[in-house]
Structure 1
Amino acid sequence: MMGATLASRSLPTIGDMPHQELPACVRVSLWATAVLGGRLPAPDLPRRALPDIDECLGLVETVRVWADLGERTVLVALPRPGDLTGMPQGPAELAAHASRAEECVFVPGVGGALVPDLEVFGPVGDEGWLSRWTRYDAQPVATHRIEALDLGQTELALRQELAVLTEELGRAGAPPFGAVAERGAAGARAAAGGALLWGLPEGLPGRALRVLQLAGTVLSLADAGLGTATASVDASSVSRRSEVLRRLQTSASRALSDAANAAALHLAYRS
């Protein structure tokens, strides 16, 4: 399919693809860590981490370089414009690109980051998905904060935040997520049975997996809710709904990246 000419269309993100319950970089961080640990051949990384992508450029090559340099872990950050929580120090271009993509992966030991972009290619009716991964320099990152995480507290805090914000959504007087968002989140809810259904490596700690499932589902709902128009004629209700959904999106993103990074460290250093 790569022989087809890339189409000039509006630029999507990997999260716009159907059936993507988790951000691409969450899956890439875990499967790339498996590659660095010798549990997965590098050429198999795109197939396991991004099964719906037809072509993947720049990912495998960079992970191989990191492996040659002795790196053991690939971590993830899920920034938003104006919120660079979890990002490594690096050039302004890295922060800007990752904020637009709302995700990136990085290595804490040798330093370095990758940010994905998604393109649609091929003729109408036979389109494919191409992901391009841009490499940036970044500073090494100490992992002591991640190692000290209490995922039980992270899960409790997210559940409490979800309860509070869901109540606020109800008071806003606008549909919380909308029918389209609810249908879009059905796949995420159905994946609660285990790592396999979420496309993640086996052997993740139970608590990390539970937080990944919860945060991934909440993020899917929030993202879909923000992308769904409501029938409300009350502009203030719609504005309030969007504000609460963005808060929920931020809370879920932070919990998701914390759980993914704790899981990646477990994969990297388990016996």
Structure 2
Amino acid sequence: MFELPGSVRVALWATVVIGSGGDLAGVAPRALPDVDHVAGLLDRLTLWRDLGEGAVLVALPSAGHVASLPRTDDEARDAAVEAGEALYVAGIGGVLVPEHSTYGSSGRRVDWHAFDAEPVPVHRVEALSHRQLERDLMELVTTARDDLERVGGQPFADSLAREIADNRLGGAWGLPDALDDRAYRVITLAGTVGAAARIGTEHSGAIDARTAADRDATLLALARGADRLLADATNAACAQLAGWVPAR
């Protein structure tokens, strides 16, 4: 079963709780139910809320692809790239990066580390539209499919294809009920596409090295594009949940 990045779930749940005036201590159990110990998250979310932030946003950076992050220092940027995810707020600026480790003999632990960052113009988030993001995602998938057909090779085994289909039909995504249908659809589909593309690089089949390299490059581009759209779709949803913009 595929999972969305923890920062995606935290951003959505934190924004919902802030908007409802609820207890932020409930964010981690809802957003990270499979993590045994969480440190550094509650205090920073509380500070952001107390300073007037109404939405928590997400970035999903990777090496050489950090445009989704707010402007920050090298230490924060490197930590976010290593984690592949980060939270941030637009108004006062600030980044929160997770560090994953083990807890006890078999548990999971996430420590969140806070960094300074520049504010982000809210209009960039307000301009995001799930309708357009869904079109962009469909175009991304279509282009990747056509490229894979030209390259050749079988990136997904039959069993994996069934798993992807099953996940599309229903998965334990851990998202708030407050999401509208289009936001939910775009977020979960983008998450599925990104995860499937990465798994595809591990299922090469009987192909030559050149074909494998070309196919992996196509799948990696698909994964990165899906990550970008997942972050944008999450932030568009957070803007709606915070009351910045209507659903669209």
So what's the TM-score if we normalise by structure 2? 0.91
Render the CA deviation track for 1:7-36: whole Å, top value 9, x for unaligned. Answer: xxxxxxxxxxxx452111110101111232
Aligned pair count reads 245
Residue 26 of structure 1 pairs with residue 8 of structure 2:
yes
3-state SS of 1:21 partner: coil
**CA distance 1:34–1:42, change in 2 (3 Å):** same
Aligned partner (choices 209, 234, 240) of residue 208 of structure 2: 234
**Displacement of 1:101:** 1.1
For residue 173 of structure 2, what is the aligned residue in structure 1?
198
Render the CA deviation track for 1:39-80: whole Å, top value 9, x for unaligned. Answer: 531111111001110110111111111112121110001111
The unaligned stretches of length 5 or more in structure 1 are 1-18
Contact 1:232 1:238 in 2 (8 A): no
Contact 1:205 1:266 in 2 (8 A): no
Render the CA deviation track for 1:196-228: whole Å, top value 9, x for unaligned. Answer: x421112223322221122111111112223x1
Aligned positions of 1:55-66 closer than 5 A = 55-66=37-48
For residue 109 of structure 2, what is the aligned residue in structure 1?
130
Name the CA distance, whole Å, in 1 between partners of 2:2 and 2:23: 23
3-state SS of 2:242 partner: helix
Name the CA distance, whole Å, in 2 between partners of 1:166 and 1:180: 19
**Displacement of 1:230:** 1.9
Name the CA distance, whole Å, in 1 between partners of 2:212 and 2:124: 37
Name the CA distance, whole Å, in 1 between partners of 2:101 and 2:50: 29
Name the CA distance, whole Å, in 1 between partners of 2:163 and 2:79: 26
Name the CA distance, whole Å, in 2 between partners of 1:191 and 1:166: 23
For residue 225 of structure 1, what is the aligned residue in structure 2?
200
Name the CA distance, whole Å, in 2 between partners of 1:20 and 1:171: 27
Contact 1:191 1:213 in 2 (8 A): no
Name the CA distance, whole Å, in 1 between partners of 2:59 and 2:76: 12
The unaligned stretches of length 5 or more in structure 2 are none
Aligned partner (choices 163, 166, 189) of residue 214 of structure 1: 189
Aligned partner (choices 145, 150, 157) of residue 171 of structure 1: 150
For residue 249 of structure 1, what is the aligned residue in structure 2?
223
Name the CA distance, whole Å, in 1 between partners of 2:76 and 2:166: 32
**CA distance 1:133–1:267, change in 2 (3 Å):** same
Aligned positions of 1:14-93 closer than 5 A = 19-93=1-75
**CA distance 1:136–1:187, change in 2 (3 Å):** farther
**Displacement of 1:229:** 4.1
Residue 156 of structure 1 pairs with residue 135 of structure 2:
yes
Counterpart residue identity of residue 175, structure 2:
L
Name the CA distance, whole Å, in 1 between partners of 2:41 and 2:167: 25
Name the CA distance, whole Å, in 2 between partners of 1:40 and 1:180: 42
**Displacement of 1:175:** 1.5
Counterpart residue identity of residue 90, structure 2:
P
Residue 109 of structure 1 pairs with residue 83 of structure 2:
no
**Displacement of 1:186:** 5.3
3-state SS of 2:221 partner: helix
3-state SS of 1:90 partner: coil
Contact 1:74 1:107 in 2 (8 A): yes
Name the CA distance, whole Å, in 2 between partners of 1:184 and 1:79: 26
**CA distance 1:141–1:105, change in 2 (3 Å):** same
Task: Quote the sequence identity (%).
Answer: 40
